[in-house]
Amino acid sequence: MTGYIIYQIILVVAIFTVSLVVALYATYGERKIAAILQDRVGPNRAGPFGILQPFADGIKMFTKEEIIPETANGWLFIIGPCIAMLTACMTGVIIPWGGTFELGGTVYSLQVTDINIGILYLFAVVSFGVYGIMIGGWASNNKFSLLGALRASSQMISYEIAMGMSIIALVMMTGTLSLGEIVKQQDDGYCNFVYQPLGFLIFLICAFAETNRAPFDMAECETELVGGYHTEYSSMKLGFYLFAEYINMFISSAVIVSFYFGGYNFPFQHELGLSGNLLTVIQTIVFFGKIFFFIFFFMWIRWTIPRFRYDQLMKLGWKVLLPLSMANIVITGLVMWLTGKIN
């Protein structure tokens, strides 16, 4: 029992560290990819190929002067970025990062906890993430911040609905709310994307909106709102808001891969005849490969598609994605009924 608890603690700390490191290097990756897409060189001064750039940025953020506005609401001004970071880091525990491995006769799982309400937990955390932005924007006591917070949070709430609806079709098909089980069902090489292409597309668009990434980065469109909800933030508090976005991007890529692209499974994995532990290692590497592709995809879109106007964004969310996701539920139900999966 004690060994189990120690293992769980190690796993949680490992996942936390990996999330932070991936997010750290996602900032570097974003600048490099932006540079490639715009035919520039990108950061190349700190270390070879500029790979120490994220640490230089971090040190800069920490050592900058911290300014808290006099009229700001003291405690809430600090709690805002805390909630943003907390909700970004909380989802990692339900994602199956790999299969199981055996060590000294005991079988360990690379998923911290396979709660049977995994998807609901995910939504609870996502819906709580709005508070980080709203509290931060309001506590700044600045009209631009408040407007930015209202825009960002109403965007997140609107897209949460379409996101939930697109997941319902997936839950209908898999018949479970647990992420571990959903990934296990894609064991045979047919990932859920084959059955749910429309659901995947809706989920992907909503993931962009939820993480406040371009083309939905209404929260920080500096041309209209100065800086959005974090106008008044400086130093590492600003850093946490920006950093939380990269962690969110990493986690939502992991969720997309688990839901629709087979998670840690890869084709013909059982034909290779590998032993359990080696297979788990390869599975985890494959999983991270898929995640990195989606992180790259997030950045690729950011530097390809211009920002939406706010009314276009709301129209897309409420008048296109929501009806489409409802139609997706009906189609899924019909197909399941016709193929005899339900009676």
How distant, in Å, are the alpha carbons of 80, 113, 186, 211, 299 from that of 180?
32, 9, 10, 23, 28
What type of residue is 152?
A
296: CB partners within 8 A, 6+ apart:
29, 33
Query: Please, is 224 exposed, middle or buried when counting C-beta atoms within 10 Å of its C-beta (0-12, 13-18, 19+)?
Result: middle
Q: How many CB atoms lie within 10 A of CB 306?
A: 7
Give 15 or 94: the residue with its C-beta nearer to another protein: 94
- Report whether 85 contacts 134 (CB < 8 A): no
Tell me which residues touch another protein (CB under 8 A): 73, 76, 115-117, 120-121, 123-124, 126-128, 130-131, 134-135, 138, 146, 149-150, 153-154, 157, 160, 177
Give 83 or 249: the residue with its C-beta nearer to another protein: 83
Task: Kindly state the smallest distance separating residue 76's Cβ from another protein, in Å.
Answer: 8
297: CB partners within 8 A, 6+ apart:
none
Task: Kindly state the smallest distance separating residue 90's Cβ from another protein, in Å.
Answer: 12
Largest CA distance in the chain: 66
Task: Kindly state the smallest distance separating residue 242's Cβ from another protein, in Å.
Answer: 23
Beta bridge partners of 107: 102
Give 130 or 316: the residue with its C-beta nearer to another protein: 130
Task: Kindly state the smallest distance separating residue 97's Cβ from another protein, in Å.
Answer: 22
Task: Kindly state the smallest distance separating residue 179's Cβ from another protein, in Å.
Answer: 14
Task: Kindly state the smallest distance separating residue 77's Cβ from another protein, in Å.
Answer: 12
Task: Kindly state the smallest distance separating residue 58's Cβ from another protein, in Å.
Answer: 30
Give 151 or 290: the residue with its C-beta nearer to another protein: 151
Task: Kindly state the smallest distance separating residue 174's Cβ from another protein, in Å.
Answer: 13
Give 33 or 179: the residue with its C-beta nearer to another protein: 179
The two tokens of residue 35 are 């540079």
Tally the residues of the chain: 343
Cis peptide before 215 (omega within 30 of 0): yes
Query: Please, is 144 exposed, middle or buried when counting C-beta atoms within 10 Å of its C-beta (0-12, 13-18, 19+)?
Result: middle
Give 34 or 124: the residue with its C-beta nearer to another protein: 124
For helices 276-302 and 235-260, give the axis angle rounded to 10 degrees.
Answer: 120
Give 74 or 105: the residue with its C-beta nearer to another protein: 74
Give 9 or 305: the residue with its C-beta nearer to another protein: 9
Give dist(CA 343, CA 339) in Å, integer: 10
